[in-house]
Structure 1
Amino acid sequence: MSNAVSYYLYIPESLCGLIFEISKPILFKMPFYCYGLDLSKTLHLHIDQQLQTSKLIAQARVERKNEYLCGRILAQAVLKHHLDLDQPLTSMREHLPIWPTHVLGSISHSQNKLIVALSNNAIYLGVDIEHWVTSEFAQESAHLVLTPSEFDLWKTKACEFFDFARYVSLIFSVKESLYKAVYPTAKQYIDFLEASIVDINFENQTLTLTFLPEIQQRYQLLEQYQGGWTIEKDHIMTWVFQARNSS
């Protein structure tokens, strides 16, 4: 294919190295590679002016272009550093990254924070980062995020560990991770109320999710998905992941 090179965004190795240097590994106690980046440390680099950006984001704000490009650059850098794959990921024509065969990846950002996760040994993988929602947002939006069983879980158990706003943040975020994890299979947006937590361990910060039976059947999804979370002062990060070789 003569246009194969121009199909992808070219990112210089030096820029990948620079972004990788200012990123930090995130340890989820899970065997996948995850890195975080403070986007405020990248604005002075004017990355959007250094790269030929796709028409898909040409009209976006500078900050939006920066978070998009930093996510792709960091993903490419992690791919090279850990899996020794020197491969472009960013199509000039498609919104989603094009991961190499046998690699699954996920990118998420919230305000000035960005995370990237990759694995070459995953059945499914999705990550999400969210700043804590306000009490007002939690009260107004809970019915769009929480299933009846998740409201019950809050009343019977979760209220000992989280205030309501943080609980809504957790459920919102882990469902975002779940949808990213199943998107390669479902190729469709699934509603927050069509998935539910069926088991949770607050000490280990792990949980199990399932979809409604009709959704599971429609998109040929698994019966259960494993997830978890880690907490920072102003945000929460969640993952949904299962290794290929795990039982």
Structure 2
Amino acid sequence: MNRFCPPPCVYHPWQQHFPALQIFATQFDRDHFDHELLNALPGMLPDSIRRSAAKRQADFLSGRLCALSAMAALQLPPMVPGIGEDRSPQWPAGVVGSITHGAGLALAAVACAADCLGVGIDVETLQKPDTMHSVAEQVLTPHELHIRALLPDMQQADFISTVFSLKESLYKALYPIVGKSFYFQDAELVAWQAETVSLRLLTDLSDVWCANATLTGHYVHIDGRVISLVVILPD
């Protein structure tokens, strides 16, 4: 699309685990954003986006283009997800999904609600050690701080960035289900093998999602970024 971003394409490192899930991604360059590009989206723009700064509009456009591509791959009508009062994407009935954008990359993960209860996807830049160490105690539980301390110095910042991203994905997957906010200290990593982790809730979020419930997260490190995914499947 002009010089702002190419058409989104499939990006699905976890296809073998979640074949019913569609993930599309695109690189984008805010310096080449023009608000006229928003006309490519079907339907009416949310007022909050129409009034927002160019940076926010660029993020919205890149993420929604990925969402539309993922929905098209599922043979769903082209409906742009709206924005809720909590700023989360509002998906059409029968659809679940998640959108993320950062460091010039946007992704959307979308599935039919019959195949998936919840999904969260997140992208973060792998930050420098001094940046991440300053937020470690906000992001990591005491157990995770202990894990970090056992790692070589060069791996500790990436560990913090990765846990941060996984907890963002966990929130995006669970919040639409439980309708309740929770925070970094309300879940922790309890197992880590290759690029798959187990996350345990430390607080009750609903009658179903209680403390000690565990969920699986996945991640990849690529081009100086971490991309994470949490998917909740039906029983």
Normalised to the residue count of structure 1, the TM-score between the two structures is: 0.79
Where does the alignment leave 5 or more consecutive residues of structure 1 unmatched? 1-14
Aligned partners of 1:242 and 1:228: how far apart in 2? 12
**Cα shift at 1:133:** 1.6
Aligned partners of 1:49 and 1:85: how far apart in 2? 20
Match status 1:113 vs 2:105: yes
Decide which structure has the larger Cα Rg and report it. 1
Match status 1:244 vs 2:234: yes
The alignment partner of 1:216 has SS state of coil
2:8 and 2:65 in contact (8 A); partners too: no
**Cα shift at 1:163:** 1.3
Q: Tell me the residue number matched to 2:138.
A: 144
More helix by share: 1
Amino acid at match of 2:188: S
CA RMSD of aligned residues (A): 2.7
The alignment partner of 1:163 has SS state of helix
Amino acid at match of 1:91: G
2:180 and 2:205 in contact (8 A); partners too: no
Q: Tell me the residue number matched to 1:8.
A: none
Aligned partners of 2:40 and 2:207: how far apart in 1? 40
Identity of aligned residues (%): 22
Q: Tell me the residue number matched to 1:190.
A: 182
2:6 and 2:27 in contact (8 A); partners too: no
Of the structure 1 ranges 166-175 and 69-78, higher mean CA displacement relative to structure 2 is found in 69-78
Of the structure 1 ranges 132-141 and 142-151, higher mean CA displacement relative to structure 2 is found in 132-141
Superposed, 1:99-110 pairs within 5 Å as 99-110=91-102
Aligned partners of 1:57 and 1:45: how far apart in 2? 10
1:106 and 1:126 in contact (8 A); partners too: yes
2:25 and 2:106 in contact (8 A); partners too: yes
Of the structure 1 ranges 160-169 and 65-74, higher mean CA displacement relative to structure 2 is found in 160-169
Q: Tell me the residue number matched to 1:25.
A: 10
Q: Tell me the residue number matched to 1:53.
A: 45
Q: Tell me the residue number matched to 1:235.
A: 225
Where does the alignment leave 5 or more consecutive residues of structure 2 unmatched? none
Normalised to the residue count of structure 2, the TM-score between the two structures is: 0.82
